[in-house]
C-alpha cells in the first residue's frame, strides 16, 4: 500500500488562509504607497443600511418543463435611506445581478447544476433609492439557471447583488457592496391538477 500526501494548496482552509494573508500584505503595500505619494486615503465606511429580503414562488406550484418565476421583495427596515444600482448585467440570456442555489428534497438533497448561459454584455442601469419603510420588487425566471426535470419540493436560495451608491442625484460611485439574500420553497409537479391522463 502507499500513502499519498495531500498538497497543502489543495486544502480549502489553507487556501483561504493564504488569500487572507495576501490581502493583508496588499493592504500594507497600498497604505505605504498612499503615504509615499502624500495622497489622501479614503476608507469605506458601512452605510448603516438594514434590509429585509424575502423570496417566494409566484405560483403555488409549477409543472415540470414550464417556466418558473420567483418574486423578490427588498424592504428598507433601517433608519437611513439607501441607493443601489438596478441593472448593468442583464443584456444577455439572463439577468446576472441575480444568482441562485437550488436543492432538492426541501433543501436536504443535491444541488441542481447551473445549466444556463451566463454571457452578458452589461446593460442599462438606474439608481433605486429606498427611504426607510420603502420596498423594491422584482420577478425573475429561474429556469434560466436550472432545469426542473423531476417533481419535488425544492429550496431556493436567492441572491441579488447590491452596489450601494451615494443618495445624491448625479453622484455615481460604489460606496459599498452587499448581497440581498433570502430563501423560499418551490413545488414542481408532474402534471397540472385536474389534467386528463391516458394510457395505452
pLDDT tens for 148-192 read 999 999 999 999 999 999 988 777 788 999 999 999 999 999 986
pLDDT tens for 73-127 read 999 999 999 999 999 889 999 999 999 999 999 999 999 999 999 998 888 889 9
Domain residue ranges in the chain: 7-43, 51-189
SS (H, E, C) 42-75: CCCCCCCCCEEEEEEECCCCEECCCCCEEEEEEE
Q: What is the DSSP letter of 46?
A: -
3-state DSSP call for residue 16? helix
Q: What is the mean pLDDT of residues 62-75?
A: 97
> What is 51-189's CATH topology?
Immunoglobulin-like (2.60.40)
By the 8 A CB rule, do 180 and 73 touch?
no
Amino acid at each position: 500500500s502507499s500513502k499519498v500526501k495531500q498538497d497543502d494548496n489543495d486544502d480549502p482552509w489553507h487556501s483561504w488562509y493564504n488569500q487572507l494573508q495576501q490581502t493583508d500584505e496588499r493592504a500594507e503595500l497600498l497604505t505605504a504607497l498612499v503615504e509615499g505619494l502624500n495622497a489622501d486615503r479614503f476608507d469605506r465606511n458601512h452605510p448603516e443600511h438594514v434590509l429585509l429580503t424575502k423570496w417566494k414562488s409566484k405560483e403555488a406550484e409549477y409543472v415540470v418543463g414550464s417556466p418558473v418565476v420567483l418574486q423578490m421583495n427588498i424592504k428598507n427596515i433601517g433608519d437611513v435611506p439607501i441607493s443601489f444600482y438596478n441593472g448593468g448585467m442583464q443584456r444577455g440570456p439572463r439577468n446576472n445581478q441575480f444568482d441562485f442555489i437550488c436543492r432538492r428534497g426541501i433543501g436536504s438533497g443535491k444541488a441542481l447544476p447551473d445549466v444556463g448561459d451566463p454571457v452578458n454584455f452589461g446593460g442599462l442601469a438606474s439608481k433605486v433609492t429606498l427611504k426607510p419603510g420603502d420596498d423594491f420588487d422584482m420577478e425573475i425566471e429561474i429556469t434560466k439557471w436550472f432545469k426542473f426535470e423531476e417533481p419535488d419540493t425544492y429550496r431556493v436560495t436567492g441572491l441579488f447583488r447590491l452596489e450601494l451608491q451615494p443618495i445624491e442625484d448625479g453622484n455615481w460611485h460604489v460606496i459599498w457592496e452587499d448581497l440581498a439574500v433570502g430563501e423560499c420553497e418551490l413545488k414542481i409537479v408532474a402534471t397540472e391538477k385536474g389534467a386528463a391522463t391516458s394510457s395505452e
